Structures are given as C-alpha cells and as structure tokens.
Amino acid sequence: MSQILLSIGTNLGERRRNLQQAVQRLSEGMMVTAVSPVYETEPWGEIDQPAFLNICLAATTVLSPQETLTFIKQIETDLGREPTYRWGPRLIDIDILFFADQIEETGNLTIPHASLAERAFVLAPLAAIAPDWAHPATGQTVAQMLTAVDATDVYRLPEPLFEKIKDWRQIH
C-alpha cells in the first residue's frame, strides 16, 4: 500500500457536485483517508475563465503510479472532461501530487507534481490535510512551501464538501 496525495479542481458546471463525484469515484479504487476543505481560487495560467473550486485528498492504494494515472484519467473522462487548451476551463481535473516518497519522471507522469511548489491553489488545501508532508527532492514541507507563495486569492469556503467526516469515509 502506498500513501498518495491528489488535487482536484473544477470550474465548470455544478462545481461542488463535480468534486463530490470525483471523490466518490476515487474511493472505488483506493482508500480515501482525508479530504481537505473546499477552496475557491482565481484561474491560474489562462485567467479569462470562471473561478475554480479546489480540494486535496489523501489516500492509500495498491496501484502503481502509472495505474493510478490511468485510473484518474478514466474518472475524468467518465465525469465528462473534454480536451481543451492548456490551463483552460475544465469540468474536472485530478492530479497526482505525491506518491509515497517516490520521485518519477516519465513521458506522461512527473511525481512529485512539477508545479506543486508554485501553486497556492494546491498548497492551501494540501496544507489543511498534510502540512508536514515533505517533498522528497527538496525536503520542504507542504506548510513551508505554502508560506513561500502568495495565497491572498485562495479562499477557504465555510461549507464542507461532505456534511460529516464519516460521509467521505463511507461514500461507496
């Protein structure tokens, strides 16, 4: 079993429902152990689009990194994600941030996520569930990385994604 950290974002359709469906589908192939609060953020990269809702989750899995990537790409497709331009609007986006303490770079997968340390919209929800997780290459914790970026446009929403903590642990 490997512990992994994922980020999930959406800025089209019923955004909260998109996040809930993604967590539910992920729980069918891995054991979800923590889900962050929901954060609303301005778009990153291509800014002429709706605001995003973002969460992070922790899970354990028996899948390999490549199998995990295939699994999450299938979930994105099943939930209605269609190809668009780089950093464009999307119904759902699921990224592997960390996979245990592995460092891996292949043609279609980089672990840890290559832009992780630059993205407040990822680091803020990640710090809510794994502030002490250390980057295997730099040694910096998630909390330390968060203090190094501008998070002024990252807003934690007061409503939880799931009504009770047990809801996300018993979603399938």
Q: Where are the beta strands (DSSP E) in the chain?
A: 2-10, 31-35, 39-41, 52-61, 93-99, 104-105, 110-111, 154-156
CA 112 to chain centre: 12
Is-catalytic flag, 93? yes
- Distance CA(68)–CA(127), nearest Å, equals 22
Largest CA distance in the chain: 41
User: Is residue 94 helix, strand or coil?
Assistant: strand
φ, ψ dihedrals at 116, nearest 5°: -50, -50
User: Is residue 22 helix, strand or coil?
Assistant: helix
Q: Which entry of 95, 132, 150, 156 is annotated as an active-site residue?
A: 95
Q: Which entry of 15, 90, 132, 169 is annotated as an active-site residue?
A: 90
Written as one letter, the residue type at 166 is K
Q: Which entry of 25, 48, 78, 93 is annotated as an active-site residue?
A: 93
Q: Which entry of 48, 81, 153, 156 is annotated as an active-site residue?
A: 81
Is-catalytic flag, 48? no
Is-catalytic flag, 153? no
- Distance CA(130)–CA(55), nearest Å, equals 12
| Tokens standing for residue 127 | 């710090």
Is-catalytic flag, 132? no
Catalytic site positions: 81, 90, 93, 95
